[in-house]
Amino acid sequence: MTTQTDGLMDFLDAELAQLKSEGRFVRPRVLAGHQAPVSIIDGKKVVNLTSNNYLDLTGHPKLKAAAKAAIDTHGVGTAAVRPIIGTQDLHVELERKLAQFKGAEAALVFQSGFTVNVACCQSLMSDPKDLLISDELNHASIIDGARLAKAARKVYPHKDMKALEAILRDSAGTRRRMIVTDGVFSMDGDLAPLPEIVHLAEKHGAFVMVDDAHASGVMGENGRGTPNHFKVADRVQVSIGTLSKAVGAVGGYVAGQRRLIDYLTSVARPFTFSSSHPPSVIATCSAAIDVMLEEPERIARLWANAARFKEGLRGLGFDTGASQTPITPVLVRDSRKAQEFSARLFEEGVFALAICFPIVARGQDRLRTIVSSGHSERDLDFALGKFGKVGRELGLI
């Protein structure tokens, strides 16, 4: 039976057709079992070069034990937002550990890296008299945070310090200014020039927010992040990390001065209006911080693997762009070819996702690879062999 309202959602057919014609239709591949360096994906055993499981912590026995123990002592959920009664002793303990890890006075945990970025941009840049200044390649969560902020926004070309200084000079007299940058840029794996950014910020009276999602657990001493790596941690006022990548669970946090954390605790909307993490997740994250301190060899292996893989790709003749971290793009510069490359590699037992326009600029289409500390040399050499084989087959090298 048809009714008058049956056609109301027909617009979705046209939208979906449009997405398909642009190669933007998404159907996620499905992982069976845990996020391992060699995983079963869509029923096929593949070398997994696509997860952010940098330190191979998602299946670590200590993290799993911590999650199970927390379920026994604290139950499975909090059934409340943090300011009501969704803050358990476990949350407080994790925040204490994170603050110490970051060398900050205090830290505050949010549901994800995405929400903590949105919360900080929105809460700290809350008036049209303020100015949020952002690198053009910052993560989507910063772009959305900037949209929700009431402040004016200015975007500078990627890592262009002359352009950043011009914006700072032109906006002298603005009530508050915050420069926001990713620490590690998620598509190219390059680093923000933090020493220059903090210098310009200080010179012009702005403060700095660094989103270290891809640097947490990867860069700096024991994975403390890019401000630690560049020795400018005490000059970054708003230090963001994620618990969803190297840490192996899910969540985000901000570390900084006690008054910053007190302020966000009172006003940040995702903190106030969305429920808190279940205790198992919080206990997992706490155990992960311990493991990062106790097993620094994981970070050493991650970097050794990244170097081996990057050198292998370059040796084959691939362009790995400006990468300075374990995120290694393999530039193809054509979206259809990138997708074909990814699909053929998958058939050969290697999973490397194609990332195409509009996620990256036109002509910047690539496969993005991320090795983990858990890959063996054999896994990496197998993958390199397949990159060579398929790359030659498609005329890319």
Ligand X SMILES: *Cc1c(COP(=O)(O)O)cnc(C)c1O
Binding site for ligand X (CB under 6 A): 112-114, 117, 139, 141, 182, 186, 211, 213-214, 242, 244, 252
In one letter, which amino acid is 29? Answer: R
Give whichever of 109 and 313 is closer to ligand X, judged by the CB atom. Answer: 109
**Annotated catalytic residue, options 186, 239, 342, 372:** 186
Largest CA distance in the chain: 70
Chain centroid, CA 111 distance in Å: 14
Q: Which entry of 91, 139, 245, 310 is annotated as an active-site residue?
A: 245
Burial state string for 71-102 with b = 16 or more CB within 10 A and e = fewer than 16: eeebeeebeebbeeebbbebbeebbebbbebb
CB neighbours of residue 228 within 10 Å: 22
- How many residues appear in the chain? 397
Backbone Cα Rg of the chain: 22
Nearer to ligand X, 312 or 323 (CB): 323
Report d(CA 377, CA 310) in Å as an integer: 13
What is the smallest separation between the CB atom of 170 and ligand X, expressed in angstroms? 27
Please identify, using beta-carbon distances, which residue of 141 and 325 lies nearer to ligand X: 141
Min separation Cβ 116 and ligand X, Å = 8
CB of 205 to ligand X, least distance (A): 26
Token pair belonging to 175: 């009530």
- Give the residue at shortest CB distance from ligand X: 113
CA distance 189 to 342: 19
CA 306 to chain centre: 17
Q: Catalytic: 139?
A: no
Q: Which is nearer to ligand X, 8 or 26 (CB)?
A: 26
CB of 114 to ligand X, least distance (A): 4
Is 245 among the catalytic positions?
A: yes
- Read off the tokens for 59: 């299946």
Q: Cα separation of 167 and 154, whole Å? A: 7
Which residue, 104 or 218, is less far from ligand X as judged by CB?
218
> Which residue among 91, 102, 159, 214 is the active-site one?
214
SS3 256: strand
Nearest approach in angstroms of CB 247 to ligand X is 9
For ligand X, which is the closer residue by CB, 316 or 359?
359
Round to whole Å and give the CA distance between 67 and 1: 50
Q: How far is the CB of 75 from ligand X (least distance, A)?
A: 23
Q: What is the edge-to-edge ordering of all strands in the sheet holding 131-135?
A: 106-110, 252-256, 238-242, 207-211, 177-182, 131-135, 152-156
Q: How far is the CB of 26 from ligand X (least distance, A)?
A: 16
Choose between 129 and 147: whose C-beta lies nearer to ligand X.
147
By the 8 A CB rule, do 396 and 344 touch? Answer: no
Which amino acids are annotated catalytic?
186, 214, 245
